Amino acid sequence: MSNQIFNLENKVVLITGATGIQGPEHVKAFKLVGAIVVATDIKDTEIILDVTSKDSIQTATKKIIEKYGQIDTLINNAGATGKYATDWEQIIKVNLTGTYNCSEIIGAMMKQGSIINVSSIYGLVGPDWSLYENANYDGKPMGVPAGYAASKGGVIALTKYFASLYAPKIRVNCVVPGGIFDNQPESFVKKYSTKTMLGRMANKNEVSGALLYLASDLSSYVTGANIVIDGGLTARV
């Protein structure tokens, strides 16, 4: 991808959840087009940012602005994983409240630019439970917790709320990925792939293109929108 096309040279991009499944790919993609990427997470990053803590968000944001002068793009990528992935309260706290906290606090400190939230197709449609029958991943049964679906649906609603609140200064949009291949069991991958029009799961780097678009001036008239990246899964009846 050309940095001339996306025009993100020296733009300051703050990414939360930068060490997760998709985070490293997003960091790589924005660096390739010349952006100044500030990768944050609850550990293993230069700047620590816990989306569930308003104090942590404020501290991290002040450090970033002191160093770079501004934040041009916020990508709310943090999500509950591991042992917290089935806990209703923790999922809501990270996925939904965390997105709200960052959008409210960091958005108020942005002069202009773009906020991009990360939702899921399960914020749009209910799970097809046949996909998860007898499926295990990392020694645990696979599935879609209710808290995950509720939180991701809430992220879509929050996107529209903040798009209205921050217009016209800041554009706020949402990407809605479907299943991303991460070494899930072969049987699950095969079943899932048959549900998509493209016949496969997404690769980890296939969401980043939409983020680049939404962060750039190519999307200058786009706000309050959801871009679904699911290989056509939710478009098929």
Catalytically active residues are 148
Q: Which amino acid is at 147?
A: G
For residue 166, the SS3 value is helix
Cα–Cα distance between 34 and 178 in angstroms, integer? Answer: 28
* R_g over Cα of the chain: 17
Cα–Cα distance between 145 and 120 in angstroms, integer? Answer: 13
Give the single-character DSSP code of 199.
S
The string over 33-47, giving b where at least 16 C-beta atoms fall within 10 Å of a residue's C-beta and e elsewhere, is: bbbbbbbbbbeebeb
Residue 217: how many other CB atoms lie within 10 Å: 10
Beta carbons of 198 and 181 less than 8 angstroms apart: no
Cα–Cα distance between 56 and 37 in angstroms, integer? Answer: 19
